[in-house]
Amino acid sequence: MEQVKSQKFVLYLRISTAKTGGVDSNGIHAQERDINLFLSSQQNPKIMGKFVEVESGAKSDRTQLNKALELCRKTNSILLAQKVDRVSRDVEFIAKLVKDKDITLRVANLPNADNFTIHLFAAISQQEREFISTRTKAAMAAAKAKGQRFGNPKLAELNRTRIRQSNKFNSTVAPIVLPLRQRGMTFQQIADTLNEMEVKTSRGCNYSPMQVKRVVDRCAK
Protein backbone atom coordinates (compact mmCIF):
# COMPACT_ATOMS: atom_id res chain seq x y z
CA MET A 1 0.00 0.00 0.00
CA GLU A 2 1.31 3.45 -0.94
CA GLN A 3 2.12 5.55 2.11
CA VAL A 4 0.28 8.87 2.37
CA LYS A 5 2.69 11.79 2.32
CA SER A 6 2.73 13.81 5.53
CA GLN A 7 1.56 17.39 5.60
CA LYS A 8 3.74 19.49 7.85
CA PHE A 9 2.22 22.12 10.11
CA VAL A 10 3.53 24.84 12.38
CA LEU A 11 0.93 25.78 14.99
CA TYR A 12 0.45 29.36 16.11
CA LEU A 13 -1.75 30.38 19.04
CA ARG A 14 -2.14 33.89 20.40
CA ILE A 15 -3.77 35.27 23.52
CA SER A 16 -4.08 38.98 24.20
CA THR A 17 -2.82 40.94 27.16
CA ALA A 18 -5.77 41.87 29.33
CA LYS A 19 -6.51 45.53 30.03
CA THR A 20 -6.31 44.82 33.74
CA GLY A 21 -2.65 43.93 33.37
CA GLY A 22 -3.10 40.19 33.63
CA VAL A 23 -3.18 37.55 30.91
CA ASP A 24 -6.37 36.86 29.01
CA SER A 25 -6.36 33.08 28.89
CA ASN A 26 -9.91 32.91 27.54
CA GLY A 27 -9.83 31.13 24.23
CA ILE A 28 -6.52 29.28 24.49
CA HIS A 29 -8.27 25.96 25.07
CA ALA A 30 -10.75 26.78 22.30
CA GLN A 31 -7.83 27.46 19.96
CA GLU A 32 -6.23 24.12 20.79
CA ARG A 33 -9.57 22.34 20.39
CA ASP A 34 -10.29 23.82 16.96
CA ILE A 35 -6.75 23.25 15.72
CA ASN A 36 -6.82 19.62 16.88
CA LEU A 37 -10.20 19.16 15.21
CA PHE A 38 -8.77 20.52 11.95
CA LEU A 39 -5.71 18.25 12.19
CA SER A 40 -7.91 15.22 12.80
CA SER A 41 -9.45 15.77 9.36
CA GLN A 42 -6.05 15.81 7.64
CA GLN A 43 -4.22 12.74 6.37
CA ASN A 44 -1.07 11.99 8.30
CA PRO A 45 -0.35 15.51 9.65
CA LYS A 46 3.08 16.18 11.15
CA ILE A 47 3.57 18.94 13.73
CA MET A 48 6.91 20.68 13.22
CA GLY A 49 6.49 23.19 16.02
CA LYS A 50 4.06 25.06 18.23
CA PHE A 51 4.29 28.72 19.20
CA VAL A 52 2.14 30.49 21.78
CA GLU A 53 2.19 34.28 22.02
CA VAL A 54 0.88 36.72 24.62
CA GLU A 55 0.48 39.90 22.61
CA SER A 56 -2.07 42.18 20.99
CA GLY A 57 -3.26 41.23 17.52
CA ALA A 58 -2.83 44.83 16.40
CA LYS A 59 0.95 44.40 16.62
CA SER A 60 2.34 42.60 13.56
CA ASP A 61 6.00 42.39 14.59
CA ARG A 62 5.78 39.61 17.20
CA THR A 63 8.59 37.37 18.40
CA GLN A 64 6.74 34.04 18.39
CA LEU A 65 4.97 34.76 15.11
CA ASN A 66 8.28 35.59 13.46
CA LYS A 67 9.75 32.33 14.78
CA ALA A 68 6.75 30.39 13.48
CA LEU A 69 7.06 31.96 10.02
CA GLU A 70 10.80 31.28 9.97
CA LEU A 71 10.20 27.61 10.80
CA CYS A 72 7.55 27.39 8.07
CA ARG A 73 10.06 28.64 5.52
CA LYS A 74 12.84 26.32 6.71
CA THR A 75 10.68 23.18 6.79
CA ASN A 76 8.23 24.01 3.99
CA SER A 77 5.40 23.75 6.50
CA ILE A 78 1.90 25.21 6.64
CA LEU A 79 1.17 27.90 9.25
CA LEU A 80 -1.98 26.84 11.10
CA ALA A 81 -4.00 29.08 13.44
CA GLN A 82 -7.50 28.87 14.84
CA LYS A 83 -8.73 32.13 13.29
CA VAL A 84 -7.37 34.79 10.98
CA ASP A 85 -7.29 37.36 13.78
CA ARG A 86 -5.06 35.08 15.86
CA VAL A 87 -2.36 35.71 13.25
CA SER A 88 -3.10 39.42 12.84
CA ARG A 89 -5.89 41.98 12.96
CA ASP A 90 -4.07 44.06 10.35
CA VAL A 91 -5.56 43.39 6.91
CA GLU A 92 -2.43 44.71 5.17
CA PHE A 93 -0.27 42.21 7.07
CA ILE A 94 -2.60 39.33 6.13
CA ALA A 95 -2.59 40.47 2.50
CA LYS A 96 1.21 40.46 2.46
CA LEU A 97 1.31 37.06 4.14
CA VAL A 98 -1.03 35.32 1.68
CA LYS A 99 1.01 36.73 -1.21
CA ASP A 100 4.24 35.29 0.25
CA LYS A 101 5.11 32.31 -1.98
CA ASP A 102 7.07 30.70 0.85
CA ILE A 103 4.15 30.73 3.30
CA THR A 104 0.89 28.81 3.22
CA LEU A 105 -1.68 29.92 5.78
CA ARG A 106 -4.52 27.68 6.91
CA VAL A 107 -7.24 28.59 9.38
CA ALA A 108 -8.90 25.91 11.52
CA ASN A 109 -12.34 27.54 11.64
CA LEU A 110 -12.28 28.07 7.85
CA PRO A 111 -11.02 24.65 6.76
CA ASN A 112 -11.91 25.11 3.08
CA ALA A 113 -10.76 28.71 2.75
CA ASP A 114 -8.18 29.61 0.12
CA ASN A 115 -5.94 32.68 0.23
CA PHE A 116 -8.61 34.77 -1.50
CA THR A 117 -11.22 33.96 1.15
CA ILE A 118 -8.78 34.47 4.02
CA HIS A 119 -7.85 37.90 2.69
CA LEU A 120 -11.51 38.86 2.28
CA PHE A 121 -12.30 37.70 5.79
CA ALA A 122 -9.45 39.78 7.23
CA ALA A 123 -10.75 42.82 5.33
CA ILE A 124 -14.35 42.48 6.47
CA SER A 125 -13.31 41.79 10.07
CA GLN A 126 -11.35 45.03 10.16
CA GLN A 127 -14.20 47.00 8.60
CA GLU A 128 -16.67 45.43 11.02
CA ARG A 129 -14.57 46.45 14.04
CA GLU A 130 -14.30 50.02 12.72
CA PHE A 131 -18.03 50.17 12.02
CA ILE A 132 -19.01 48.91 15.48
CA SER A 133 -16.67 51.43 17.11
CA THR A 134 -18.06 54.30 15.03
CA ARG A 135 -21.67 53.25 15.58
CA THR A 136 -21.23 52.98 19.35
CA LYS A 137 -19.56 56.39 19.66
CA ALA A 138 -22.19 58.05 17.47
CA ALA A 139 -25.09 56.54 19.40
CA MET A 140 -23.65 57.58 22.75
CA ALA A 141 -22.91 61.11 21.53
CA ALA A 142 -26.43 61.54 20.11
CA ALA A 143 -28.06 60.28 23.29
CA LYS A 144 -25.89 62.52 25.45
CA ALA A 145 -26.59 65.58 23.31
CA LYS A 146 -30.35 65.12 23.62
CA GLY A 147 -30.27 64.18 27.27
CA GLN A 148 -31.95 60.86 26.55
CA ARG A 149 -31.56 57.62 28.37
CA PHE A 150 -30.17 54.80 26.26
CA GLY A 151 -33.22 52.61 26.67
CA ASN A 152 -35.83 55.25 25.76
CA PRO A 153 -35.26 56.76 22.27
CA LYS A 154 -38.15 57.93 20.08
CA LEU A 155 -39.29 55.12 17.79
CA ALA A 156 -39.26 57.09 14.52
CA GLU A 157 -35.76 58.43 15.17
CA LEU A 158 -34.57 54.98 16.19
CA ASN A 159 -35.86 53.49 12.95
CA ARG A 160 -34.11 56.17 10.86
CA THR A 161 -30.89 55.53 12.77
CA ARG A 162 -31.16 51.78 12.19
CA ILE A 163 -31.68 52.31 8.46
CA ARG A 164 -28.60 54.55 8.23
CA GLN A 165 -26.55 52.06 10.22
CA SER A 166 -27.77 49.16 8.09
CA ASN A 167 -26.90 50.97 4.86
CA LYS A 168 -23.46 51.87 6.17
CA PHE A 169 -22.83 48.31 7.32
CA ASN A 170 -23.93 46.92 3.95
CA SER A 171 -21.33 49.14 2.30
CA THR A 172 -18.63 47.46 4.40
CA VAL A 173 -19.88 43.98 3.52
CA ALA A 174 -20.25 44.71 -0.19
CA PRO A 175 -16.49 44.47 -0.97
CA ILE A 176 -16.67 40.90 0.29
CA VAL A 177 -20.04 39.83 -1.12
CA LEU A 178 -19.64 41.22 -4.64
CA PRO A 179 -16.35 39.42 -5.50
CA LEU A 180 -17.83 36.14 -4.24
CA ARG A 181 -20.92 36.75 -6.38
CA GLN A 182 -18.70 37.50 -9.39
CA ARG A 183 -16.98 34.16 -8.85
CA GLY A 184 -20.35 32.48 -9.45
CA MET A 185 -21.37 31.71 -5.88
CA THR A 186 -25.09 31.57 -5.10
CA PHE A 187 -26.71 33.73 -2.42
CA GLN A 188 -26.94 30.63 -0.21
CA GLN A 189 -23.25 29.83 -0.68
CA ILE A 190 -22.26 33.42 0.13
CA ALA A 191 -24.50 33.40 3.23
CA ASP A 192 -22.93 30.10 4.34
CA THR A 193 -19.45 31.57 3.82
CA LEU A 194 -20.23 34.69 5.87
CA ASN A 195 -21.78 32.61 8.64
CA GLU A 196 -18.82 30.22 8.65
CA MET A 197 -16.57 33.27 9.03
CA GLU A 198 -18.78 34.39 11.95
CA VAL A 199 -19.59 37.65 10.15
CA LYS A 200 -22.87 39.03 11.52
CA THR A 201 -25.46 41.41 10.12
CA SER A 202 -25.79 44.95 11.48
CA ARG A 203 -28.17 43.52 14.09
CA GLY A 204 -25.79 40.76 15.10
CA CYS A 205 -27.61 37.91 13.34
CA ASN A 206 -26.51 35.24 10.87
CA TYR A 207 -26.88 35.95 7.15
CA SER A 208 -29.67 34.45 5.06
CA PRO A 209 -29.66 34.21 1.25
CA MET A 210 -32.27 36.99 1.13
CA GLN A 211 -30.06 39.34 3.17
CA VAL A 212 -27.14 38.68 0.85
CA LYS A 213 -29.42 39.42 -2.14
CA ARG A 214 -30.41 42.74 -0.55
CA VAL A 215 -26.75 43.74 -0.24
CA VAL A 216 -26.18 42.92 -3.91
CA ASP A 217 -29.38 44.70 -5.01
CA ARG A 218 -28.55 47.87 -3.07
CA CYS A 219 -25.10 48.00 -4.64
CA ALA A 220 -26.70 47.76 -8.08
CA LYS A 221 -28.85 50.87 -7.51
In angstroms and rounded to an integer, the radius of gyration of the C-alpha atoms of the chain is: 20
Strand, coil or helix: 65: helix
Contact 202, 169 (CB under 8 A): yes
- Per-residue b/e over 186-201, b at no fewer than 16 CB within 10 Å? ebeebbbbbeebebeb
**Alpha carbons 213 and 10: distance in angstroms, whole number:** 39
Domain boundary pick from 111, 140, 167: 111
Do residue 142 and residue 106 come from a single domain? no
100, 148: one domain: no
pLDDT one digit per residue (tens) for the chain, 221 residues? 445 577 999 999 998 865 444 454 447 888 999 999 999 999 899 999 999 999 887 777 899 999 999 999 999 999 999 988 899 888 888 888 888 889 999 999 888 887 777 877 777 666 655 655 565 666 666 666 665 555 555 555 544 544 444 444 455 677 778 777 887 888 988 888 777 767 777 677 888 999 888 888 887 66
Q: Which domain holds residue 87?
A: 7-111
Which residues does residue 197 pair with via DSSP β-bridges, in sequence order?
A: none
Q: What pLDDT does 133 receive?
A: 59
Cα angle, residue 80 at apex, residues 77 and 83 outer, rounded to 5°: 160
- Establish if 122 belongs to a structural domain: no
13 and 106 share a domain? yes
What residue type is assigned to position 22 of the chain? Answer: G
Beta bridge partners of 79: 10, 105
